[in-house]
Amino acid sequence: MPHISVKMLKGRTEEQKKAAADKLTAALCEAIGCGDSHVTVGIEDYTAQEWQEVFAEEIEGKADTLYKKPNYDPKSLL
Protein backbone atom coordinates (compact mmCIF):
# COMPACT_ATOMS: atom_id res chain seq x y z
CA MET A 1 0.00 0.00 0.00
CA PRO A 2 2.86 2.49 -0.18
CA HIS A 3 2.33 5.07 -2.91
CA ILE A 4 5.16 7.16 -4.35
CA SER A 5 4.21 10.47 -5.93
CA VAL A 6 6.81 12.06 -8.20
CA LYS A 7 6.37 15.65 -9.36
CA MET A 8 8.94 17.03 -11.76
CA LEU A 9 9.57 19.36 -14.66
CA LYS A 10 8.33 18.30 -18.07
CA GLY A 11 10.79 16.87 -20.52
CA ARG A 12 11.45 13.26 -19.48
CA THR A 13 10.57 10.46 -21.85
CA GLU A 14 8.14 7.66 -21.06
CA GLU A 15 11.13 5.30 -20.93
CA GLN A 16 12.83 7.51 -18.31
CA LYS A 17 9.63 7.67 -16.26
CA LYS A 18 9.20 3.89 -16.40
CA ALA A 19 12.83 3.36 -15.37
CA ALA A 20 12.42 5.81 -12.48
CA ALA A 21 9.23 4.09 -11.32
CA ASP A 22 10.91 0.67 -11.47
CA LYS A 23 13.97 1.85 -9.51
CA LEU A 24 11.93 3.75 -6.93
CA THR A 25 9.76 0.67 -6.42
CA ALA A 26 12.78 -1.59 -5.95
CA ALA A 27 14.45 0.84 -3.55
CA LEU A 28 11.30 1.26 -1.45
CA CYS A 29 10.72 -2.49 -1.27
CA GLU A 30 14.29 -3.01 -0.10
CA ALA A 31 14.14 -0.16 2.43
CA ILE A 32 10.87 -1.05 4.12
CA GLY A 33 10.55 -4.74 3.34
CA CYS A 34 7.38 -4.88 1.29
CA GLY A 35 6.47 -6.67 -1.92
CA ASP A 36 6.35 -4.74 -5.18
CA SER A 37 2.73 -5.76 -5.72
CA HIS A 38 1.80 -3.35 -2.93
CA VAL A 39 3.62 -0.31 -4.38
CA THR A 40 2.17 2.24 -6.78
CA VAL A 41 4.03 5.12 -8.44
CA GLY A 42 2.50 8.23 -9.99
CA ILE A 43 4.43 10.81 -12.01
CA GLU A 44 3.16 14.32 -12.71
CA ASP A 45 4.89 16.75 -15.09
CA TYR A 46 4.95 20.53 -14.62
CA THR A 47 6.31 23.55 -16.43
CA ALA A 48 8.83 25.71 -14.56
CA GLN A 49 6.09 28.26 -14.00
CA GLU A 50 3.66 25.66 -12.64
CA TRP A 51 6.43 24.31 -10.42
CA GLN A 52 6.49 27.55 -8.44
CA GLU A 53 3.05 26.78 -6.98
CA VAL A 54 3.82 23.09 -6.49
CA PHE A 55 7.03 23.99 -4.66
CA ALA A 56 5.19 26.41 -2.38
CA GLU A 57 2.45 23.91 -1.54
CA GLU A 58 4.22 20.56 -1.58
CA ILE A 59 7.70 21.47 -0.36
CA GLU A 60 7.61 24.72 1.60
CA GLY A 61 4.11 24.00 2.87
CA LYS A 62 5.00 20.49 4.04
CA ALA A 63 8.59 21.02 5.18
CA ASP A 64 7.94 19.08 8.38
CA THR A 65 7.28 15.90 6.37
CA LEU A 66 10.31 16.11 4.05
CA TYR A 67 13.05 13.54 4.58
CA LYS A 68 15.15 15.02 1.76
CA LYS A 69 15.11 18.81 1.65
CA PRO A 70 15.81 20.86 -1.51
CA ASN A 71 19.01 22.81 -1.99
CA TYR A 72 17.87 25.18 -4.73
CA ASP A 73 15.69 28.21 -5.31
CA PRO A 74 12.72 27.26 -7.51
CA LYS A 75 12.85 30.70 -9.14
CA SER A 76 16.19 29.65 -10.69
CA LEU A 77 14.16 27.33 -12.97
CA LEU A 78 12.33 30.22 -14.62
**In the structure, what pLDDT confidence band is assigned to residue 17 with cuts at 50, 70 and 90?**
very high
Q: Residues 33, 67: one domain? A: no
pLDDT of residue 45: 98
Q: Are residues 40 and 58 in the same domain?
A: no
- Considering the domain architecture, whether residues 23 and 3 belong to the same structural domain is answered as yes
The total of structural domains in the chain comes to 2
What integer is the mean pLDDT of 4-13? 98
Q: 71 and 54 in one domain? A: yes
Averaged pLDDT for residues 35-46: 97
Neighbours of 55 (CB within 10 A): 19
What is the residue range of 20's domain? 1-46
Q: Are residues 10 and 41 in the same domain?
A: yes
Tell me the mean pLDDT in the region 25-48: 97
Instruction: Give the catalytic positions in this structure.
Output: 2
The CATH number that applies at residue 38 is 3.30.429.10
Q: What is the pLDDT of residues 52-76, one digit of tens each?
A: 999 999 999 999 999 999 999 999 9
Contact 20, 43 (CB under 8 A): yes
Band (pLDDT 50/70/90 cuts) for residue 12 is: very high
